Structure 1
Amino acid sequence: MEGQEAASTSNHFLIPEEKGQVCCDEWGDSQDDFLVKVLEDSESAGTQRKDECGEGISNTSFEKSTFGNEIKHKCALSGHQDSATSDSQLEPLQAFRHGYLWVSDFSSQAWCEQKLHYSYTAPALVQETPAMTQGSTLHLARELAAHDKVDVNVTSNEDIWAIKVINLLMSAQGFLNGQALAREVPVFGAPFGLDIFIVGLIDELRFDLDQYTVDLSDLKTRTSSHMPSRSQEAQHRLQVMLYKKLFDDLVQGKVAKDLIAKHLRLRLDSQFGEGIMTHLKSAGIECNTLSELLDFTYRRLQSCTCVNKLSIEYVFQDTGETLGRKEILYDEDDLRQKFVESIDYWMGRRPPKGVEIEEAWKCHRCEFVDICEWHQRKTEECVERNRKNACV
């Protein structure tokens, strides 16, 4: 979508979603809860490959990139570079993610960075499983229990991102008006001042009016009827801590508008399309541009409070039964360290890394095991080590 001409709005297209989440953005206001779905031109959408964020990559191909090799970008990413640089080597942040990341990119990276890398360089091996579909269904059921749907036509990238900002605004406004629950709350920012822009969708925020506290909860569905392993817990812990960091930075006024314009390539002073204008007017909001809408939203957010408690709810997919809830202790120093380590890969400062031998069990159910050079290398190292030990 970035850098492309405005599309007409004859057919349905859902707003960019997070990996593993239902393809919807939703919010609730103090009067009527509703879910907004953006409508976009099908001809434009049909000529692009949509990644999990809903962004288009036009006429793009990559050479198979393996451990130790730099990424070879063969054709220009839409809106990102001209013909003079179309054959240049790009870091993963630009080659795969259009210059900004999703929170789930970091949680996937925590599970296995090499697997994450292959999901972009060998996407044909990734297939949706019944477990993925069932997990999405459970997420959607919870969303629709709190919100109705509203269709909003969009005609520009600024309109699309306005949907996200309105979503966030209505969650904040709802809390200030005494609403106790918001689901699928968008957050964004550049944590720790490292100039890496992150976008995410918080599953659930709960507001306690008496205590004036906000608690954050994330829903994880499981195919087994037992709680997750330590490795899975560590992956989920990183995700919810990053959600908190992004939300808190917004509340504290740390996300500058020019940062958004820079990383998302948006024209903040561009007039909204008729669909967004009509929707804003019906909600009693007098904003004509994304710049004005951000100002209005930030004023509301800064009347809220930072996240108090973090938790993860684990649900058994077959029955919908809650298996347990894990309370997460927020550790900003630990989050900062892991964040810095992760972005080294995204900035192309090092090749992707796979799991160590202690977590090689992850490889047994990985769809990339047959092409994984990291796995092959570690296997050869293990064989050689055993051979030497046998000779002693």
Structure 2
Amino acid sequence: MTLLCSELEVHDIVDVPTSSREDAWAVRVLNLLTMIPVLQAGDCVRELPVFGLIEGVFLTGVIDELCYNIKGELELNELKTRSRPVMPSEAQRRRDHFQVCLYKYIFDAMVQGCLKPDIFTSHVSLSPEQLLGSEVKQHAQKAGFTVSTFGDLLELLCLNLTFSDIPHIDCLKINYNHQESNILLGTDIVLYEEKKVREKAQYYLAYWKGQREAQGVDIEEAWKCQFCDYSEICDWRRTRAEMPLQRSGPKKTK
């Protein structure tokens, strides 16, 4: 099953014309707003947007599916499709595990009331005073919200999240499906440890903040280098290429 088919099972997709960056973000915010009462009612939602800060950096994502399991726990299900009928490598699975852990971290912070309107305005350079386009306002009214500006919508979102009583995510699952046959190849149950997630995020974000040099991938992930735009000037690749030459240098004479 594709992500689109999965999404269409629970709601229709509506195209909303936008005329500004604030309009485009407003549609994402409205999508999240409409999903809050669905989760409160104990039902399933798909393609749920998440926004938040981690280590001072604004991150966004889309959770494939949130639903309640038979124990009443809120469960995140991530769908990954594979072009070949085999499970991904350990390196790729570690990447996927980190992704869903980040989603949980951001979502949990949202329902704790950590998401504030100024996060959007300061980190994404959006104007709270920006008037929403007529199509966006009409879309909001159909969903039961009367708003005029982007700031109105942000206030509404943050209030609804803070007082929603939606629980934290308890379980993280990743389903790997073969794209052509839709056969389930396997399911990973992901262990969440917040300390390790934060440490890993700190490490990765330090590079984007200019606080550390780039570091080469593990040797089993070296295949990624063929798709890298900087492979020709990469110090790590050059160092790795020189290592065999150093080992096979002239032998010492006795």
State the secondary structure of the residue aligned to 2:216. Answer: coil
Aligned to 2:129, the other structure's residue is in SS state: coil
Deviation string 1:140-166 (CA, Å, 9 cap, x unpaired) is: 222233332212121221111111111
8 Å contact 1:215–1:310 — kept in the other structure? yes
Structure ranking higher on relative contact order (CA contacts 8 Å, 6+ apart): 2
**How has the CA–CA distance of structure 1 residues 366 and 145 changed in structure 2, closer, same or farther, with 3 Å as cutoff?**
farther
Q: Identify the residue that residue 181 of structure 1 maps to in structure 2.
A: 44
Contact 2:115–2:158 (Cα < 8 Å) also in 1: no
Specify whether residues 309 and 368 from structure 1 end up closer, same or farther in structure 2 by C-alpha distance, changes over 3 A only.
same
- Aligned counterparts, 1:100-249, within 5 A: 138-178=2-42, 180-191=43-54, 194-208=55-69, 212-249=72-109
List runs of 5+ in structure 2 lacking aligned partners: none
Could you list the per-position Cα deviations for residues 78-116 of structure 1 after superposition, in whole angstroms to 9, with x for gaps in the alignment? Answer: xxxxxxxxxxxxxxxxxxxxxxxxxxxxxxxxxxxxxxx
**Matched residues in 1 for 2:116 and 2:222: separation?**
43
Tell me if structure 1 keeps the 8 A contact 2:117–2:158: no
In structure 1, what residue type is equivalent to 2:63? I
Identify the residue that residue 306 of structure 1 maps to in structure 2.
Answer: 168
What SS does the corresponding residue of 1:149 show, helix, strand or coil? coil
Deviating 4+ runs (over 4 angstroms):
none
Task: Go from structure 1 to structure 2 and tell me whether the alpha carbon gap of 1:360 and 1:278 turns closer, same or farther (over 3 Å shift).
Answer: closer
Q: How far 1:386 sits from its partner (Å)?
A: 4.1
Aligned letter for 1:336? R
| TM-score, L = length of structure 1 | 0.59
8 A contact 1:212–1:305 mirrored in 2: no
Distance 2:221 2:112 in 1: 41
Task: Provide the secondary structure at the position in 2 that maps to 1:151.
Answer: coil
Offset at residue 181 of structure 1 (A)? 1.6
Equivalent residue, structure 1, for 2:223: 362
In structure 2, the CA distance between the partners of 1:285 and 1:211, relative to structure 1 (3 Å rule), is farther
Q: Counterpart in 2 of 1:43?
A: none
Query: Which consecutive unaligned segments of at least 5 residues does structure 1 have?
Result: 1-136
How far apart, CA to CA, are the structure 1 residues paired with 2:115 and 2:160? Answer: 14
Using the alignment, how far apart are the partners of 1:246 and 1:275 within structure 2? 29
Figure out how many residues of one structure are paired with residues of the other and give that number. 249
TM-score by length of 2: 0.89
Structure 1 residue 201, shift from structure 2 partner: 0.9
Does the 8 A contact of 2:82 with 2:176 survive in 1?
Answer: yes
Secondary structure of 1:224's counterpart equals coil
Deviations 1:126-184 (CA, angstroms, capped at 9, x unpaired): xxxxxxxxxxx922222233332212121221111111111111111211234x22111
**What is the CA distance between 1:306 and its match in structure 2?**
1.0
2:175 pairs with 1:317: no
Residue identity over aligned pairs, in percent, reads 33
Residues 212 and 298 of structure 1, relative CA distance in 2, 3 Å threshold: farther
**Partner of 1:78 in structure 2?**
none
CA–CA separation in structure 1 for the residues paired with 2:248 and 2:96: 35
**Displacement after TM superposition at 1:360 (Å):** 5.4
Aligned to 2:117: 257
8 Å CA contact retained: 1:173, 1:300: no
1:283 aligned residue: 143
